[in-house]
Structure 1
Amino acid sequence: MSSEFILAGEDKIPSVGLGLWKIDRESTAEIVYKAIEIGYRHIDAACDYGNEYEAGDGIRKAIDDGLVRREDLWITSKLWNTFHRAEVVPVALEKTLSDLELDYLDLYHIHFPISLAHVPIDKRYPPGWFYDPDAEHPQMKEDPVPILETWQAMIECQKSGLIRHLGVCNFGVSLIRDLMASSSVKPAVLQVELHPYLTQEKLLRFCAQHDIHVTGFSPLGAQSYFSIGMAEEGEGVIDRKETKAIAEQVGRTPAQVVLRWGLQRGTSIVPKTSRVERLKENLDLFDFELTDQQMNTLNALNQNRRFNDPGDFGEKAFHTFFPIYE
């Protein structure tokens, strides 16, 4: 298996990237630099992660030190929910580019099919989910904007050379189908939660039919969610006896088995870690292969278990019921 996947149009996206969600700002620059030094070429960032400025420091140092050229890297970022109005899409993009110290992005996603009231950058950045965190009863404040309006503004940014590819995150088949019916520019990439507890076969099949590449976030499942109370002990895919048995059979760690499962499904992955040894482990996936039986064993673990669901965490964390997947 190659370390890259070919997109529609023959461009190539690295199959393994470093996800920056939940990496502390203080360590982000060093982790990004180390990742590039080890061999990562895809950095998966977002406004909402709150560490793009520090990521930019790491990217710039790696380039200045001669580890890579800019054109060797694939940098992804995401438009936050409060910047969906057409007039503020380029404002958000310019802020991201400035923080990352880049002239262009390789991929820019709509982060969620959720449009919230605009919060100016000079008022609060990143804006987060609350409209006014200091209110007596802070909540998310919806500002309904058609997805097409946001998408067309992103297309204009692409035409100006600031974005190479456009994508969407956390979209289902119906939204993608409607977007393709409304615009001549379809998403190059869909990024969604994917792991053996949430296999999403029909979504992957639909994207394959329409030459939309899929990237899986949280590819290890529950691991990213223990610390924020969105998963409970015992929900880890890597802790399952089936996963451990396969790991013993192939002489790899359970995490490598699950990550390899993601790659063999034809999806790129963006695992997050702040530990250098894990950076190396998560990239060391190309000299072994899972058998059909081993793949089927992991597929059979599916529970349609979604850890990152605004319909759940919106109410718990932000006092606002906001389902999007139902």
Structure 2
Amino acid sequence: MSLLIPNWTLSARCFGIGISSFVLRRTSDVFYTLGLLPGIYFDTVLSSLLVQFVALVAIKVCILPSRFDVAWRAFFLGSCLNLGLTLAVYTLEYQNIGMYCVALSIFHWSEYMMQSTFNPLTTTVESYMLYHSNAYVVAFLAALVEYAVEYYIWPSSKLPNLISNIGISMVIFGECLRKSAMWTAKSNFNHYVQFEKDEEHELVTHGVYALFRHPSYVGWFWWSIGTQLILFNPVCVVLYAIASWKFFNDRIYSEEMTLLKFFGTKYAEYQGRVGIGIPFISGFIVPIINSETTAADETSGSKKDE
């Protein structure tokens, strides 16, 4: 049956299954409060785990092996969203770490969804971006370690506060900006720098690209810093900002070299009109030489030679 639906649909269904126990719990909350389910209350960790286990077994049985890699990753991210929402809604002490789980799960799942929707032929399980570099994994682990250590030393610092709310706002802004960039670019977007121009590759300068030359990178930059503000991780906020800036500075520089190669003066003029959006990153800039000025200079030079 899984062969009859595209990968993005399969991913969406498995992601939804991953959230199922949270939905059941919230539904039971409403019915229990209204007195419609006397004596039945879906409110135990065991019942949640049971639902998740049954769902995973069902996916394993129903999905063909060739597509299971897509399915289980979507289910895993849905389960992470499930956990995050549960912590954020039902606890105060772990609300911040819950929102962090929500941010991560939505980010990674939507990366795959957008890519598989607009670029299905180049989409692989790597498009979930769960493991795109060793540095990303190290950064993720560093955030968890700092959170755990500081929670042990100073538990109250991890309660919801103004800083964590600012972080949530930054994450929402960054996520929306990045996905808007992917939506606007459609098939022109790719997770990896392209060094060979495809025949259908067009220069996108409208929508959010009229505001930033690299809106997907701008969104990811502020999103990554926002995740650490949510956790109130002062050390990782600084480290994430430095590491993200270095990564995007290098990436944008090399990418703009290829874009200038692909689109020439057209892209150079676009550079002159639109900034990047990440502080102190200018990209690879080639000065535009005005033809009239050049001609005048050549004439002047000729007269001097005479």
Q: Which has the higher strand share?
A: 1
Q: Whose relative contact order is higher, 1 or 2, with alpha carbons under 8 Å and at least 6 apart?
A: 1
| TM-score between the two structures when normalised by the length of structure 1 | 0.26
TM-score normalized with structure 2 length: 0.27
Which has the larger Rg? 2
Q: Between Structure 1 and Structure 2, which shows a larger proportion of helix residues?
A: 2
